[in-house]
Chains A and B, each alone.
Chain A
């Protein structure tokens, strides 16, 4: 008989199979992630979670009998029945106690209706992004940061004096001196003492020897320097991505009656994606929600997406409110400002001029990026909206996109990246 301790064997043997399962269940998982993410607050979009998927989509079919025909079953625990008794069929399931003998014989077929899958944060996010149908290329870019800083990375032999690594240099010098047996100061002192003592004595020969020894030591000391150029080390630095410390993201949305749930859902997805993007780039991301009809108000996330208001549409009110909040709380020197506006494009007559001024003189120069997302019902080929026409006057203008379904959100992002990389290219 052998007893074998397998506990140290690598565990996680099933992880590759788990990955295969997630890939296999990809479509329904993405659906589940979509449903869950629309009920999640924006900030929690990238967190781990449990999603529930219908077992139907991932079952393994087999030949087995269904509920047709007669079933007979032997059961234990008879208390009162006599042969020939009639029992009412248990209500509810339709197939009574007598069923089931053949039902589950197949093994994989029947069983649970729901299936819970615990996803890690990484998996959740990647499913979320997959659902937006971002190509892989874009997803990689999302996690890229483009501002770089310097980071300590070991030592090097050359460098500027300011970067001299003193401790490391001294340590190298010490080990070299020890290895080459450079006499220590007290050794020389002792030899000198001995030599002086010998000089005072009569023994000429001994005195000579002592002097020679002292000279040898001193020679050795001179020929082995205390610090040699080969000891010297400099601190080495490496460029590394360093996020600009903080960013604020303004979500501006028109909530007048003409905005449908579908439009709001698209807007929410866009905001989420922007948040994911910003979160990877900046250490701290704040979100400000501003909703407007004919007047604008800063609200919390729940109110932002859920409650409705009636009234006209005056865009300038929201722009003014944004500007006010920036001036009050987010000084441009300390904050990267991102503004995303979602609207169906309506604007009051006579408000265009005002909005235009606010944009041109206020928001556009202040913000890193201004995205205007015009949302609409699918297959609605309405002519250009008021707001679109207004913004079209601006030069340089905001990134503008018209979106009617969630698959189209990604082009807006592509535009964002293209703009940035072009801007970098010209600045270099």
Chain B
């Protein structure tokens, strides 16, 4: 199909429909992306600010912290410190993309390609999202949460609900399951597995073994601690889950609220783990689509230049010594890595063949990338696919700040000796398991004062920030209803520091 989709900056609903149809032809027909059905909603700047405040969700329950976020963004926006995003996209089915009414026709095209196809494909196919989020149910669930919490406010008072939500929000980062839980035992599969085990035993049966003297049968006397751990599923890293299931003094509605906060945390958890990949995918997809549109003569040269300008801004990465440097730009890194992988697929060098043998020269970049989009998260993506070439292009180096030394140390640079070390260190920065402190509920003193005991496994001497930890622990004690103890222990199990908290008010 050819012919201009639009001319000039103005657009109408027909234009948007036309743009969407043409982009869809390219995305689904040529790139073979798989997406949820799209729903594009046009909103005003005011509504975009509302969207920011409610963590991007179209519906959300009421809490002062959302108001705080709103005031923050509103202040920045009105002062002109901050531009608003061109879009917000929601991992739901249908996939809702909010686009601003103030965008030009070209920007709407870009946004549709980026959000409605790039992000959408990622949401639908990435294994983290598949495993942990329910795209079809999320909006209904939010509606339920909103109504339920409003109902609780009416019944039990705004203050009670607010203090519970405060406590739950403080623990939100530790209210997610990081790995799939043990599934319920299913009789048929168990039977099959038992049969398999027997078959294996028969296969390796050897008369000789039966001549070995066997010791007395093992006693299965378990200690009280072991029984307790079994009963309470300890150790448990999902603190909110633990409280919801076992906190002794919570009312049913309070458990339900904890559950709501916990499920939302879990819903957002994949997004925290895939910032680079998610934005990289969307940016790569929009770049491909926009180029294709230009090749086919669907957009003018002028519009294409506008696109290039805005694309360049999006993928801009200043160096560490630049005044504008804040952190690694996930759009820039993701796009650079995916473009680099495309190069490896199509025209690999000898180095690429050594580093990325599975991709080098496969000549099918789209399918190779789709496989990556489906099966990796930031940490594994970087640790496997960051090529030496890109490290050289970006001139990466690894810096260590050890308080025991008086100066910073350059640990590795982009050379033969450094590639692997840089890649490993870089990937770890994106590993939430590494950056988030690892805190687990380890025990409850059932015979004493019902004290809840948690443990922070300190890595490389990085203790918790004391003031915040104290406050969060206070909230935790409120929920638990009895004293709480948090031990910080180092890699060898030696205690480094302890925090305690008493409940301030009894949870009703």
Selected from B415, B461, B468, the residue in CB contact (under 8 A) with A70 is B461
Cα distance, A277 to B21, chains bound together (Å): 64
Q: Which residue of B lies closest to A74 (CB)?
A: B426
| B462 close to A65 (CB less than 8 A) | yes
In chain B, positions 454-479 with a C-beta closer than 8 Å to chain A are 456, 458-469, 471-472, 475
| A66 close to B464 (CB less than 8 A) | yes
| Cβ distance A380 to chain B, nearest Cβ, rounded Å | 37
Q: Is B414 an interface residue (CB 8 A)?
A: yes
Q: Which residue of A lies closest to B476 (CB)?
A: A63
Cα distance, A62 to B166, chains bound together (Å): 11
Selected from A17, A62, A69, A88, the residue in CB contact (under 8 A) with B67 is A17
Main secondary structure on B side of the interface with A: mixed
| B173 close to A5 (CB less than 8 A) | no
Cα distance, A58 to B63, chains bound together (Å): 13
| B71 close to A76 (CB less than 8 A) | no
| A82 close to B173 (CB less than 8 A) | no
B408-425 interface bits toward A, Cβ cutoff 8 Å, 1 = contact, 0 = none: 111111110110001001
Q: Please name all residues of chain B whose beta carbon is closer than 8 Å to the beta carbon of A68 when the two chains form the complex.
A: 403, 461-463
Which range contains the number of B residues in contact with the other chain?
A: 35 or more
| Cβ distance B70 to chain A, nearest Cβ, rounded Å | 4
| B425 close to A69 (CB less than 8 A) | no
| A12 close to B401 (CB less than 8 A) | no
Q: Is B83 an interface residue (CB 8 A)?
A: no
Q: Which residue of B lies closest to A19 (CB)?
A: B67
Cα distance, A105 to B468, chains bound together (Å): 13
| Cβ distance A60 to chain B, nearest Cβ, rounded Å | 6
User: Which candidate, B40-48, B206-214, B370-378, is the interface stretch facing chain A?
Assistant: B40-48
Selected from A5, A12, A18, the residue in CB contact (under 8 A) with B71 is A18
Given known pairs A11-B50, A62-B170, the reply for A17 and B20 (CB within 8 Å) is: no
Q: Is A109 an interface residue (CB 8 A)?
A: yes
User: Which candidate, B130-138, B247-255, B433-441, B442-450, is the interface stretch facing chain A?
Assistant: B433-441
Q: Please name all residues of chain A whose beta carbon is closer than 8 Å to the beta carbon of B174 when the two chains form the complex.
A: 63
| B70 close to A17 (CB less than 8 A) | yes
| A4 close to B468 (CB less than 8 A) | no
User: Which candidate, B2-10, B300-308, B314-322, is the interface stretch facing chain A?
Assistant: B314-322
Selected from A18, A63, A97, the residue in CB contact (under 8 A) with B464 is A63
| B71 close to A117 (CB less than 8 A) | yes
A17-32 interface bits toward B, Cβ cutoff 8 Å, 1 = contact, 0 = none: 1111111110000000
Q: Is B101 an interface residue (CB 8 A)?
A: yes
Q: Which residue of A lies closest to B463 (CB)?
A: A68
| A24 close to B75 (CB less than 8 A) | no
In chain A, positions 44-99 with a C-beta closer than 8 Å to chain B are 50, 58-79, 81-89, 95-99
| Cβ distance B252 to chain A, nearest Cβ, rounded Å | 25
Q: Is B85 an interface residue (CB 8 A)?
A: no
| A20 close to B62 (CB less than 8 A) | yes
Q: Please name all residues of chain A whose beta carbon is closer than 8 Å to the beta carbon of B78 when the two chains form the complex.
A: 118
| B471 close to A75 (CB less than 8 A) | no
Q: Is B94 an interface residue (CB 8 A)?
A: yes
Cα distance, A11 to B327, chains bound together (Å): 34
| B394 close to A5 (CB less than 8 A) | no
Selected from A13, A71, A76, A88, the residue in CB contact (under 8 A) with B407 is A88
In chain A, positions 135-149 with a C-beta closer than 8 Å to chain B are none
Q: Please name all residues of chain A whose beta carbon is closer than 8 Å to the beta carbon of B396 when the two chains form the complex.
A: 74-76, 78
| A14 close to B410 (CB less than 8 A) | no
Given known pairs A4-B39, A71-B401, the reply for A64 and B465 (CB within 8 Å) is: yes
Given known pairs A3-B16, A21-B71, A61-B468, the reply for A11 and B39 (CB within 8 Å) is: no
Selected from B50, B317, B418, B465, the residue in CB contact (under 8 A) with A65 is B465
Given known pairs A76-B317, A84-B410, A97-B408, the reply for A4 and B62 (CB within 8 Å) is: no
Q: Is B147 an interface residue (CB 8 A)?
A: no
Q: Is A116 an interface residue (CB 8 A)?
A: yes
Selected from A4, A105, A118, the residue in CB contact (under 8 A) with B75 is A118
Selected from A7, A77, A96, A117, the residue in CB contact (under 8 A) with B401 is A96
| A70 close to B67 (CB less than 8 A) | no
Q: Please name all residues of chain A whose beta carbon is closer than 8 Å to the beta carbon of B475 when the two chains form the complex.
A: 61
Q: Please name all residues of chain A whose beta carbon is closer than 8 Å to the beta carbon of B101 when the two chains form the complex.
A: 7
Q: Is B24 an interface residue (CB 8 A)?
A: yes
| B403 close to A64 (CB less than 8 A) | no
Q: Please name all residues of chain A whose beta carbon is closer than 8 Å to the beta carbon of B44 when the two chains form the complex.
A: 7, 11
Cα distance, A61 to B37, chains bound together (Å): 38
Q: Which residue of A lies closest to B435 (CB)?
A: A105
Given known pairs A4-B42, A6-B47, A86-B409, the reply for A99 and B16 (CB within 8 Å) is: no
| B407 close to A89 (CB less than 8 A) | yes
Cα distance, A107 to B328, chains bound together (Å): 16
Q: Please name all residues of chain B whose beta carbon is closer than 8 Å to the beta carbon of A22 when the two chains form the complex.
A: 67
Q: Is A230 an interface residue (CB 8 A)?
A: no
| A20 close to B67 (CB less than 8 A) | yes
Q: Is B360 an interface residue (CB 8 A)?
A: no
Cα distance, A109 to B173, chains bound together (Å): 11
Given known pairs A17-B66, A89-B407, A97-B320, the reply for A72 and B465 (CB within 8 Å) is: no
A100-113 interface bits toward B, Cβ cutoff 8 Å, 1 = contact, 0 = none: 11100111110000
Selected from B47, B54, B395, B408, the residue in CB contact (under 8 A) with A76 is B395
Q: Please name all residues of chain A whose beta carbon is closer than 8 Å to the beta carbon of B432 when the two chains form the complex.
A: 105
Given known pairs A20-B63, A62-B472, A77-B394, the reply for A3 and B42 (CB within 8 Å) is: yes
Q: Please name all residues of chain B whose beta carbon is closer than 8 Å to the beta carbon of A16 when the two chains form the complex.
A: 62, 67
Q: Please name all residues of chain A whose beta carbon is closer than 8 Å to the beta carbon of B464 when the two chains form the complex.
A: 63-66
Q: Please name all residues of chain B whose beta carbon is closer than 8 Å to the beta carbon of A13 when the two chains form the complex.
A: 47, 50, 54
Cα distance, A81 to B399, chains bound together (Å): 10
Q: Is B383 an interface residue (CB 8 A)?
A: no
| B50 close to A82 (CB less than 8 A) | no
Cα distance, A4 to B212, chains bound together (Å): 76
| A98 close to B399 (CB less than 8 A) | yes
Cα distance, A80 to B362, chains bound together (Å): 36
In chain B, positions 45-86 with a C-beta closer than 8 Å to chain A are 46-47, 49-50, 53-54, 62-68, 70-72, 74-75, 78
| A82 close to B462 (CB less than 8 A) | no
Cα distance, A227 to B345, chains bound together (Å): 97
Q: Please name all residues of chain A whose beta carbon is closer than 8 Å to the beta carbon of B25 when the two chains form the complex.
A: none
Q: Is A1 an interface residue (CB 8 A)?
A: yes
Which residue, of A22, A69, A74, has the highest number of chain B Cβ atoms within 10 A?
Answer: A74
Q: Is B172 an interface residue (CB 8 A)?
A: yes
| A74 close to B429 (CB less than 8 A) | yes
Q: Which residue of B lies closest to A107 (CB)?
A: B173
Given known pairs A66-B465, A96-B408, the reply for A1 and B40 (CB within 8 Å) is: yes
| A102 close to B435 (CB less than 8 A) | yes
Selected from B71, B98, B328, B408, the residue in CB contact (under 8 A) with A87 is B408
Cα distance, A99 to B403, chains bound together (Å): 10
Selected A-B contacts with CB under 8 Å, 15 pairs:
A1-B39, A11-B46, A12-B46, A14-B49, A61-B467, A62-B171, A63-B456, A64-B465, A69-B458, A71-B462, A76-B394, A87-B410, A89-B406, A102-B462, A108-B65
Q: A85-B410, A102-B462 are in contact. List 11 more A-B contacts (CB 8 A).
A: A1-B40, A7-B43, A13-B50, A24-B67, A24-B162, A66-B465, A73-B425, A77-B322, A82-B413, A84-B409, A100-B327
What 8 A-B pairs come out closest when comparing CB atoms? Answer: A77-B319, A98-B401, A21-B67, A69-B461, A17-B67, A66-B465, A69-B462, A75-B320
Q: Chain B: residues with CB nearer than 8 A to chain A? A: 13, 16-17, 20-21, 24, 37-44, 46-47, 49-50, 53-54, 62-68, 70-72, 74-75, 78, 94, 98, 101, 162, 166, 169-174, 317-322, 325, 327-328, 394-404, 406-415, 417-418, 422, 425-426, 429, 432, 435-437, 439, 456, 458-469, 471-472, 475
